[in-house]
Amino acid sequence: MKWLTSRYVFPLAVITLVISLCLQCAWIRQLYVAQKKSVSTELESIVSDASKQITYRSIAKGHEKSGRFQQFFLSQEWLALRQAFDELKVDNLRSQFHYGITNDSSVVEMKMSFLNDAKLKFDHKSSAVTNGKSQREVSLQDQRDLKIMDSLVNHRLDHLGWHINRNYALYDYSDGRLIKGQLPSQTVSSFVSGKYTYNLKFQNRYQLIVPSITWLIVFQMRYYLISSFLMLFLTAAAFYLLIRLMKNQQLYAQAKLAFTSNMTHELQTPISTISVALESIKKYHLIDQPEKLENYINISVHELHRLQAMIEKVLKQEQMDLGETKLQFSLIDIQPILQQVIHAMEVQVQEKNASIIFLPIAEPLFINGDAMHISNVFYNLIDNAIKYSPPHARIDVSCSIGGHQLTISFNDNGPGINEIYQQQVFERFFRIFNQDNIHNVKGSGLGLHYVKQVVALHGGRVELYSKAGKGCNFMIILPLYEEN
């Protein structure tokens, strides 16, 4: 699909991430609402159960294990009836409750009355028969039951691991006025329970207040939140890696296309030269002119060698990338190899009016390596220094030892390499353009990539120190040979 190019990938990835984020937020919001409802239901159940348990204890002293008592006073029907009796609040309604327990039977009486004439008023709206106990005794018992009620609620919350700020409000049973605590603020995240009695003295009613349950809900949703954030992160990371891979593939394809174009041009040059030489020999009957014939033949042989060297260079690089190259390691001295390479490149040096300065040191520099590939590394670095440097270039080659490592430096006074390209120059097919996006120097873009691979196979590394306009210093660092 031609329309699906890399320029559409980034906006498509952004849109996908935004949609994913919106969906995750909607899902988390729904989950938050459900969790809030669940927490509120659980808190309400805690207060309701505590009220039931404390009320039962206040009723059934001496009859705690009685099946009849449990069947009645812990039944859902009784609890619903009692709660309805507590909640029934009508203007000028008087309610009265009484229970009596004897060895033979128990009596529970609920009485409600109201005057038909709205102008008449009852003195008391509700009351409970106290079986002859004084008001002080009833108040003390009510305070003890209140402490037990609040303690039981706190114990249940702590048992669930819900460490939240909480308090309670106490309301007068008769007229509903607040007698202890503060009125709950109607905030979005606060929880306010219903009002519950905690004995059958009907003095006061208990209400649990939690200022905020937001962090409790977030804590309970922690695994869902972590998984959601992790999913978004992995999706973003996947898109990032995909875009980066596509960009690298695009750069690789462009570099490969440039490599094909450059190599086609470079291969055509020696072929054209050989073709012209052969046609000249045939056309001008140079067989009768031995000197010119020998000159044309030498030109053809030189171009054939150059053509063969370029083909071998590409083949060797391909084999090395596929891991098919096997190095022949042996004990070699670096300095003689350097001298041989420098001597073999005298023609190129003379053509550019350049100079190579190499001052060997007295002691031999032995490494465990492949002499052919090491010499190719030296050839590539010196050849690059000559090609990219201006006329009358100077190339300093030196060796040094430090920390059981050998450092071979190739320092030139050429144009240098900008810092933004210093890591990319070792990539396959990469070549630096000039300001007009044109390659001024012919090449395949394989030389430095090959250098880095060979040095790595020898257990070493390549370092580049350069500034634009101030030359380059390529340093090959290899481990010295050590006897076991």
Q: pLDDT at position 189, please?
A: 55
Exposed, middle or buried, 212 (CB in 10 Å: 0-12/13-18/19+)?
middle
Q: How confident is the model at residue 58 (pLDDT cuts 50, 70, 90)?
A: confident
End-to-end CA distance of the chain: give it in Å, rounded.
61
What's the one-letter identity of residue 304?
L
Separation CA 316–CA 310 (nearest Å): 10
Mean pLDDT of the 287-300 span: 80
- CA 458, distance to chain mean position in Å, is 35
pLDDT exceeds cutoff 80 at 390: yes
Q: For 180-230, write each residue's pLDDT tens digit.
A: 887 766 555 588 888 888 887 777 889 998 888 888 888 888 888 999 899
pLDDT exceeds cutoff 60 at 376: yes
CA distance to 19, 386, 425, per residue, from 468 (Å): 46, 17, 14
Exposed, middle or buried, 78 (CB in 10 Å: 0-12/13-18/19+)?
middle
Q: For 332-357, write each residue's pLDDT tens digit.
A: 999 999 998 888 777 678 778 889 99
As a 3-state breakdown, the chain gives helix, strand, coil percent values, each rounded to 5, of 50, 15, 30
Exposed, middle or buried, 449 (CB in 10 Å: 0-12/13-18/19+)?
buried
How many distinct helices (H) and strands (E) make up the chain?
11, 14
Q: pLDDT at position 359, please?
A: 87
Q: For 415-466, write each residue's pLDDT tens digit.
A: 888 888 878 788 776 766 544 444 455 555 677 888 888 899 899 999 999 8
Looking at the DSSP bridge assignments, the partners of residue 356 are: 395
Mean pLDDT of the 84-103 span: 74
| Dihedral Cα 24, 26, 28, 33, nearest 10 deg | -170
Q: For 226-250, write each residue's pLDDT tens digit.
A: 998 998 898 888 888 888 887 777 7
Looking at the DSSP bridge assignments, the partners of residue 400 are: 407
Separation CA 352–CA 382 (nearest Å): 13
SS3 state of residue 132: coil
Hey, what long-range contacts does 230-236 have (CB within 8 A, 24 or more apart)? 231/20, 231/24, 232/17, 232/20, 232/21, 232/24, 235/16, 235/17, 235/20, 236/17
| Token reading at 50 | 């505590």
Give the whole-number percent of the chain exceeding pLDDT 90. 14
User: Residue 338: which of 296, 302, 301, 381 has the closest Cα?
Assistant: 381
| Dihedral Cα 209, 211, 213, 219, nearest 10 deg | -120
Sequence-ordered alpha helix ranges (H) in 322-391: 334-344, 346-351, 371-388
pLDDT exceeds cutoff 50 at 82: yes
SS3 state of residue 206: strand
Query: Is-contact 127 203, C-beta < 8 A?
Result: no
Q: In what order do the strands lie in the sheet with 355-358?
A: 355-358, 394-402, 405-412, 472-479, 461-466
Residues contacting residue 184 through CB under 8 Å, at least 6 positions apart: 169, 190, 192, 207, 209
Q: Around Cβ 375, how many Cβ atoms within 10 Å? A: 17
pLDDT exceeds cutoff 50 at 2: no
User: Residue 367: which of 320, 325, 407, 413 has the closest Cα?
Assistant: 407
Residue carrying structure tokens 């030189």: 302
- CA 22, distance to chain mean position in Å, is 19
Q: pLDDT at position 43, please?
A: 92
